[in-house]
Amino acid sequence: MAGIGWLPGERDTRPPATQDDLDAAVAALAGRPVAVLTGAGLSTDSGLPDYRGPDAQPRNPITYSQFVSSPEFRRHYWARNHVGWHQVHTTEPNEGHYALARLEASGIVTGVITQNVDRLHERAGSVNVIDLHGHYQLIRCLNCGATMTRDELDVRLQELNPGFLERVTELGDIEIAPDADAVLAQTEDFVIADCPVCGGILKPDIVFFGESVPPATVQAAFALVDASSALLVAGTSLAVMSGLRFVRHAAQLGLPIVLVNRGLTRGDGLATVRLNAGTSEVLSYLEQQLPRPAAGAS
């Protein structure tokens, strides 16, 4: 059964992917419209650490209940996010992101379902992207529903907290996380911004732990898999059901599944081809090797 013996961050004892493994991945995907599912491991080559990779540091992300019920947790979250956003929003896509964008432009990739909130797929040029867990660039009021961009919120946070970024940078007390967050010890004096319309609680349009992915987003992701003939999974341990369910769905449909990740995943037992390798290298190789659809082919 898939997942037996799996632990988050556990190292894969299998050897690194060989040329035979790469050839098998190409054979499994060739001539098929491919849906793609990505996770934090895809962005590590852009300088963003992942959550559950073999070298990932233990993390305790804030939960939705903590965020809405505790002003202290909200202050701590926004202080960390304020620092983390200034790093993440200037992070550049890596070759893995660009390879997927080119594969979509060539008609091989039908779209990307991403568990990441970093918007790097869009910045690389991918068009059909389903942000499964939302993204960091939109802010929403939990009371009245008013929205603003993260850039607009940044102006307010800098006005409310002059010199904060410079102080924490000098302390060196920064560790960036994949969700535009950062780990900070000194957050007691940070002033959070309330909704300018109603004074309510502002929250990133991101699915926190303890929240559910919006049903419409889930339906769109399932529809993308249904409209494809193969599934490529890159850079995720599939530790949470929000991503694993699409791998299980593809397996139930009998689709070939190519899974690329460093470290074990909960989907290993469902994979047609399992590559113990970095995502950028494999995606670049697939982009070079997969045949383009013939002109006029549907």
- 297 pLDDT exceeds 60? no
| Least confident among 37-41, 169-173, 222-226 | 169-173
String of b and e for 211-236 (b: at least 16 CB within 10 Å)? eebeeebbeebeebbeebbbbbbbbb
One-character DSSP codes across 78-126: HHHHHHHHHHHTTPPP-HHHHHHHHHHHTTSEEEEEE---S-HHHHHT-
Q: How far apart are CA 193 and CA 168, in angstroms?
A: 19
- What SS3 state is found at 27? helix
pLDDT level of residue 65 (50, 70, 90 thresholds): very high
String of b and e for 250-265 (b: at least 16 CB within 10 Å)? bbeeebbbbbbbbbbb
CATH topology of domain 19-289: Rossmann fold (3.40.50)
The mean pLDDT of 277-281, rounded to a whole number, is 95
| Highest mean pLDDT of the ranges 59-68, 72-81, 169-178, 289-298 | 72-81
- Active-site hit among 97, 121, 133, 135: 133
Structure confidence by residue, pLDDT tens digits, 189-240: 899 999 999 999 999 999 998 899 999 999 999 999 999 999 999 999 998 8
pLDDT level of residue 278 (50, 70, 90 thresholds): very high
Q: How far apart are CA 182 and CA 180, in angstroms?
A: 7
User: 133 an active-site residue?
Assistant: yes
- Domain residue ranges of the chain, discontinuous segments joined by +: 19-289
Q: How far apart are CA 273 and CA 24, in angstroms?
A: 7
pTM: 0.86
The DSSP H or E segment spanning 203 is strand 202-206
pLDDT for 216 equals 97
The mean pLDDT of 169-174, rounded to a whole number, is 52
